[in-house]
Structure 1
Amino acid sequence: MSRNAVATIDISSFIHGDAAARAHVAKSFGAAFENNGFAVIVGHGISNDLIQSTYDAAKLFFAQPLDEKLCYTVPEEAKSRGYLPAGIESVAKTLSGETPPDLCEALVFGALHRELRGQAGKPNFWPTEPKELRPLISQYCQAMEELTGYLARMSALALDLPEHYFDAAYSDASLTLRFVNYPDEETPPKPGQMRYGEHHDYGGLTVLRQDSAPGGLQIWDDGGWHDVTPIPESFVINVGDLMSRWTNGRWRSTLHRVINPPRNLTGSTQRLSMVAFVGPNENAEIACLPTCSDAAHPPQHEPVIAGDYIKSKIAASMDLTLAK
């Protein structure tokens, strides 16, 4: 469809405005998530030079030979960090069982904000080339961490909670950066195979910087698929399953996918997405929020531990026979 089914929200007045302005922005933010689980934000204050430079450096990484990229693939089966080659992941498996692997490769940094602070944990695999990649990703991570704080405060107000209600859960927030490269498709996809199959995101909120290459993001809404048209200097924000559970379904975790480019196009159709998965601390218990249930709408889910829930979803999406 030609229309953009996702609301565009300028959050600059939330960042810089008074209480009334923050409440107004938060209301729009929450309404978008109740409507279809997606919003596009502008006025976020993150330097476009930083975004573009990080994007360019990530593209240089993916342009390297496969053997060099494979040096950064971790040995663990459910790969939540490092380089993920094409062929080992099928996100649609989390919903519909066996499906062809997604037509993409990725570079993932887990708990990067903790590593930057010198805290213990699993180390990330840092590529040596291009040399500018590591400092740029570090800066980009810090920008995403600041944005996460704004999103948490907007979420609280949108859900009729005190503005700082989520401060404790987000005091050591979960933050994973994922750079996803969708190469040119030199051969026709298998039946049902897509750049990224139909799926729900797993966590709290997803922050996406998409480019304008053909074969892009679509969401399922009102009985059909709708394009999410790229808007310059914006981020697409969407609700994951964990946040939907937390809100008792008040906020929708919406089915979405990345479609293949048309086969008749000439020139490159390579696409690169920069994704930040943000959410509460991995040890946080996620139970129905006090403003999201009543006698007519009792809690729908049992409480879960945030980190355990996400790990189970990642494992379900992997073809572990190929991941080894």
Structure 2
Amino acid sequence: MAASAIPVVDFQKYGLNVTDPKTVTSDVLETTAKEIYDAFSTIGFLYLINHGVEQRKVDAMFSVSKSFFDQPVEEKMKCALDHRYGYHGYIALESERLNYKGSVADFKEGFNFMPKDEMVWPENLPQFKSTFSSFFYDCSRLSERVLDVLSIGLKLQDRNFLRDCHRLMGKKENSTSLRSNYYPPLTGCVKPGQVRRGEHSDYGTVTLLFQDGIGGLEVMNTEDVYVDAKPVPGAIVVNIGDMLQRWAADQIKAAKHRVLIPESEVKKRQYRQSIAFFVNPDNDTIIKSLDGSDKYEPISVWDYLECMFQTIS
């Protein structure tokens, strides 16, 4: 496979199908660890197959999300994200600008979920909360296993090191979030220079992305050229964020990616969905070069994320 292509990594040996991950030795995972490290140290993206997240749960997430986004704006705004109280809730159309250099807001909507008691839920969708909560739990477990294998790939002495820095996922001391993205059909209302999702790299450690069959995600390859991350049935697109690149002293790469306005008139009239699980370490974790090089000044996860979040709105 060309170095600029997005590789496929089989996670059968350590996916959620493995009941007790502690029984799997590091020696067994070496090949998988090398494949993941090689992908993240070059193009920064991979397709993960045989990961163990049930397709029926992915389908349920897409279904309940679509039911929410199909509602009138005034109904969705009852659950609007309020930055004064955190980063959970409805993100209205054209309210974010992921490419901070751009002048036009992205043509997309979203619903960001962080498991907190004070969150407002859509009252007319009784399955919404349970579906998001269950999916968050599955993504958390899979992320821990990806982090274990990445620790091996980075040749850390303790394969649980990265996992241990993410122990509070789902609690208030950790800002890991599950986001459902919705790209409405385009009806001639696109502003000059507008895109569906602006060029950016993610902020945290690892992102799990579940795509529908429409496609549109583009990834910058090793030649600094954008290539299509075409949907692969049953696969999760996995990439790393800026924080992990900093933590690993640039051994691995947080690649830029985007979603443009499609050129095809047929695709313009189609809606698109994706589901992203943004993994972050616990808020008080200090990000310090893992190789001891002190390439970057140490910073807490909370301070780093607060700085990055200010660039998107």
> Is contact 2:82-2:89 (8 Å) kept?
no
The match for 2:160 is 164
Per-residue CA distance 1:10-55 (angstroms, 9 max, x = gap): 1111344543321111111111000111111011111111111111
Shift of 1:263: 4.6
The match for 2:218 is 218
Q: Distance in 1 between matches of 2:274 and 2:81?
A: 21
Letter in 2 for 1:204: T
55-64 vs 179-188, greater mean Cα deviation:
179-188
Letter in 2 for 1:151: V
Shift of 1:268: 3.9
> Is contact 1:4-1:228 (8 Å) kept?
no
The SS at the match of 1:316 is coil
The match for 2:11 is 11
The match for 2:196 is 195
Per-residue CA distance 1:218-267 (angstroms, 9 max, x = gap): 01121311000101111111111101100011110111101212252278
TM-score, length-scaled by structure 2 = 0.89
Q: Does 1:81 align with 2:77?
A: no
> Is contact 2:187-2:269 (8 Å) kept?
no
Shift of 1:138: 1.1
Shift of 1:84: 0.8
Shift of 1:100: 0.4
List gaps (5 residues or longer) in structure 1.
116-121, 319-324
- Map of 1:113-152 to 2, 5 A cutoff? 115=116, 123-152=118-147
List gaps (5 residues or longer) in structure 2.
19-23
Q: Does 1:99 align with 2:142?
A: no
> Is contact 1:78-1:314 (8 Å) kept?
no
C-alpha spacing 1:83/1:32, structure 2 compared with 1 (3 Å): same
> Is contact 1:172-1:281 (8 Å) kept?
yes
Letter in 1 for 2:288: A
> Which of residues 272, 284, 306 in structure 1 aligns to 2:301?
306
Per-residue CA distance 1:256-298 (angstroms, 9 max, x = gap): 10121225227841011101001210110001003xx5xxxx4
- Map of 1:167-182 to 2, 5 A cutoff? 167-173=163-169, 174=174, 175-182=176-183
Letter in 2 for 1:213: I
What is the RMSD computed on CA atoms of the aligned residues? 2.0
Q: Distance in 2 between matches of 1:266 and 1:38?
A: 25
Letter in 2 for 1:243: L
Q: Distance in 1 between matches of 2:141 and 2:267?
A: 40
- Map of 1:1-80 to 2, 5 A cutoff? 5-15=5-15, 16=18, 18-76=25-83, 80=87
Shift of 1:7: 0.7
C-alpha spacing 1:43/1:266, structure 2 compared with 1 (3 Å): closer
Letter in 1 for 2:218: Q
Q: Distance in 1 between matches of 2:4 and 2:112?
A: 29
The SS at the match of 2:123 is coil
Q: Distance in 2 between matches of 1:29 and 1:299?
A: 24
TM-score, length-scaled by structure 1 = 0.86
Shift of 1:107: 0.5
C-alpha spacing 1:199/1:78, structure 2 compared with 1 (3 Å): farther
